Amino acid sequence: MKSKILSQIWALALNVWRESTRDRGIAILVVFGTICILISLVFGQMAVGGKIRVIQNMGFWVIGLWGLFTVLYLGSNIISQELKHHTIYMILSRPVNRTVFLLGKFTGMLIVLFLIFLLLSTVWLGLLLFEGIDISGMHFIALVFIFGEWVLLAALSLFFASFTSPLLHNFFLIGISFLGHWSNDLRMFAENAKDIWLQCILKIIYFILPNLEALNFREMALYNREISVDLLVQGGIIILAWITITFSAANIIFARRRLI
């Protein structure tokens, strides 16, 4: 029984991967991401005395932002296209339950995201080596947590895709991504706000959104600062907790959704 479920998940995941290889939008994202990383060489040459910092900063920035772009593109269509073309009815009419369907779609998203992440990271690290910039373990830690953020956003994407339109899906995901990186600022504003209602609203936003800034170790990698184990554990817990919560919520909502 378990092997059958795993084979169904894998079949759905491979289908997501095959569709992405034929999708020009994904190819365009990869090409433009690679170009943006290479353009950092130009900006580095223009920066007086800051070439190394510019190339590293821009690489981190592009890889982080391209995760959001890819998740937006994949997630907005991952369920809506199945509904639009009525292929979801054929899948669910077989002995494939809705949880397996979501797991298959999520696994497929992760495969696509990982390969794109691997390609962009390889290009960027190769560029650092080409420029003679030292690569430390901190760079790899920062990259791992950038990919962790990609996975977290993919789980959120699946959650919104399970009950909203592609337009609302993109709106919510962009908002959470940017507010999640301003999480520490929101807490600071809440502590300094004089109005009690504004204070409450900011605190609520702070607690209900993922603290994506807790996954940001780019500055530490840039200046080769040591990252404490506590911060790494905290970041790992945030990623795992939010993936578990959002996927569980998506499963509950999608299981109760009327598709006909």
**Which amino acid is located at 35 in the chain?**
I
**Torsion from C-alpha of 100, 146, 156, 68, nearest 10 degrees:** -110
C-alpha to C-alpha distance for 109 and 9, rounded to whole angstroms: 12
C-alpha to C-alpha distance for 145 and 236, rounded to whole angstroms: 8
Query: Does residue 80 have a pLDDT over 90?
Result: no
- Which segment, 14-28, 92-106, 138-152, is predicted with the most confidence on average? 138-152
Q: 19: which 2 tokens?
A: 């569709």
For 37-48, write each residue's pLDDT tens digit.
988 888 777 765
Q: 126: which 2 tokens?
A: 């190769």
Phi and psi torsions of 193, nearest 5°: -70, 135
Contact 54/47 with Cβ under 8 angstroms? Answer: yes
Does residue 224 sit in helix, strand or coil? coil
For 117-167, write each residue's pLDDT tens digit.
999 999 999 999 988 888 888 999 999 999 999 999 999 999 999 888 889
Percentage, residues of the chain above pLDDT 90: 43
Quickly state the pLDDT bin for 103 (edges 50, 70, 90): very high
For 91-100, 202-211, 249-258, which range has the lowest pLDDT when averaged over its residues?
91-100
As separate numbers, helices (DSSP H) first and strands (DSSP E) second, the chain gives: 12, 0
Give the count of alpha carbons within 13 A of 140, CB side only.
4
Quickly state the pLDDT bin for 108 (edges 50, 70, 90): very high
31 vs 187, higher pLDDT: 31
Q: What is the pLDDT of residue 98?
A: 84
C-alpha to C-alpha distance for 2 and 24, rounded to whole angstroms: 35
For 49-53, 158-162, 212-216, which range has the lowest pLDDT when averaged over its residues?
49-53
C-alpha to C-alpha distance for 71 and 110, rounded to whole angstroms: 10
**DSSP at 81:** H
Domain definitions of the chain by residue range: 2-256
Give the count of alpha carbons within 13 A of 157, CB side only.
30
For 171-206, write each residue's pLDDT tens digit.
999 999 988 888 777 778 777 777 788 788 877 887
Query: Does residue 260 have a pLDDT over 60?
Result: no
